[in-house]
Amino acid sequence: MSFLLPRTTLVSLIVASALFMELLDGSIIATAVPAIANSLQTDPIHLNLAITAYLFSLALFIPLSGWAADRFGARTVFRAAIIIFTFASALCGFSQNLAQLVCARLAQGLGGAMMMPVGRLVLLKMVPKDKLVSAMTWLTTPAMIGPVLGPPVGGLIVTYFSWRWIFFVNLPIGLLGIVLVSLYIENIREEEVAPLDILGFLLMAAALAGLVIAFETVGRNLLSNEAIAAFLIGGLLCFALYIIRARRVSAPIVDLDLFRLSTFRAPMAGGSLFRIGIGAMPFLLPLMLQIGFGLSPLMSGFLTVSLALGALLVKFFARFIISSLGFRRLLIINALICAVSMAACGLFRPETPHIVILTVLLVGSFFRSLQFMGYNTLVFADVPIESMSRATTLFSMLQQLFLSLGVGTGALLLHLTLNWRHQTTLHANDFWPAFVIIGFISLLSVFPLRELTPEAGAVMSGHNSAKPMQEEV
């Protein structure tokens, strides 16, 4: 296989396949909740524990990933993460009651927490910076199409097969991944690794877990308002305590000093606002098409699959566009296009021709995927190689946090719209405020990007011959 593909492409595909398995699995289970609840003879509401357990475990262990990769080697940790995730998937498929499923999902979250940031770290350390744009397009694709394909694929499996196959399909992918990682991924590690800051890890893990659970459950009637507020306040308090802790130790588990780099700070700030829209879109669109417009799950899935097609098309044009415009100009101009494309979804009506919906979603998905890839690449442009593991940890934490905030924002906006109209059931006209607001939030991402220089990320983009600047404040 290594003779058929360049090594850079091969490594990118291995990492992307693992991440796709994780992201597809994370979005697919929601569609199967009624079928799983019926099979396990439990209340569908209680089954949401299986979703929350995964998110909790994911958030809990992400802060540990960078340190583990430095200490034990990227290949060792990445391969172990795939093994854990694959084995836990089998346990999910064989679960006979809710307790077994929840425990298996906790184990899945542990594997997923290591797979996401360490897979990105493998790519960043094995791929030369001048080839990173092409490599990152492979990593962007799973993030864009996994949440989109999840619901229709889940519906297909539940309709024509057993819900257990939702988890069993991970087994061949995981086994192949284990073999390919063993053969083609280098066991990159740091020579000297500081001892694990256990207290810092506990504080950051608690902060991230509390905030992710609060954002994922707000407006969705999964937890009481009191419980959501407790998770939110507890998460913010733990984060504040971590900041105090990080200033007192020489090697914090999450390095907040990375924000001194403008090429890290600006795309992280802008990208975080942008990810609110990215997180909300896969949540809002199926609801609008199925509940608001009365389309079947199959037709809704057919229309939203255009989001995946747009993400795939980026692979063929990203390098040319970025080298022509440079990161700064691209991200600012494209942020405006993405904001308009998100808000435009609020103009859809039940009588809107499907070809129009399909076209708008396809075009919008292309530009959103391009933006997503730009953020994901530029943020590592000036990070020193010895700090790369901590950078991927921090990046993965904030990415998960703001994607979850996007889902929570979409759900909260729908909830507020219903309250404002004194309704309890969603109708076609209830969705446009949510799309307009998430478009506006995404538009705000322009402001942090303005501090970038035209030369930012030049080594990666090939836009000009200037070296990327490392600006400190």
Q: What is the pLDDT of residues 190-226, one digit of tens each?
A: 777 778 888 988 998 899 888 888 887 776 666 788 8
What confidence score (pLDDT) does residue 468 get?
Answer: 42
Pairwise CA distance, residues 313 & 320, whole Å: 13
Q: What is the pLDDT of residues 384-430, one digit of tens each?
A: 887 888 888 888 888 878 887 887 888 888 888 888 888 777 788 88
What confidence score (pLDDT) does residue 448 get?
Answer: 92
Pairwise CA distance, residues 53 & 123, whole Å: 29
pLDDT of 3 higher than 60: no
CB 37 within 8 A of CB 43: yes
Those residues whose C-beta lies under 8 Å from the C-beta of residue 65, and which sit 6 or more positions away, are 77, 113, 114, 116, 117, 118, 389, 392, 393, 396
Q: Where are the beta strands (DSSP E) in 196-314?
A: none
- Residue range 46-64: mean pLDDT, rounded: 79
- Residue range 3-28: mean pLDDT, rounded: 75
Q: What is the pLDDT of residues 131-181, one digit of tens each?
A: 777 777 777 666 666 666 676 777 777 777 888 888 888 898 889 889 988
Average pLDDT of the chain to the nearest whole number: 82
- Reading the block at residue 460, the tokens are 């990666």
pLDDT band at 2 (very low <50, low <70, confident <90, very high): very low
What confidence score (pLDDT) does residue 242 get?
Answer: 92
End-to-end CA distance of the chain: 46
Classify residue 193 by its DSSP letter.
-
The separation between CA 60 and the C-alpha centre of its own chain, rounded to angstroms, equals: 16
Give φ, ψ of 457 to 5 degrees. Answer: 70, 25
Pairwise CA distance, residues 55 & 65, whole Å: 16
Give φ, ψ of 95 to 5 degrees. Answer: -60, 140
pLDDT of 303 higher than 50: yes
The more confident residue out of 306 and 468 is: 306
Q: Which stretch of 11-15, 66-70, 294-298 has the lowest confidence by average pLDDT?
A: 294-298
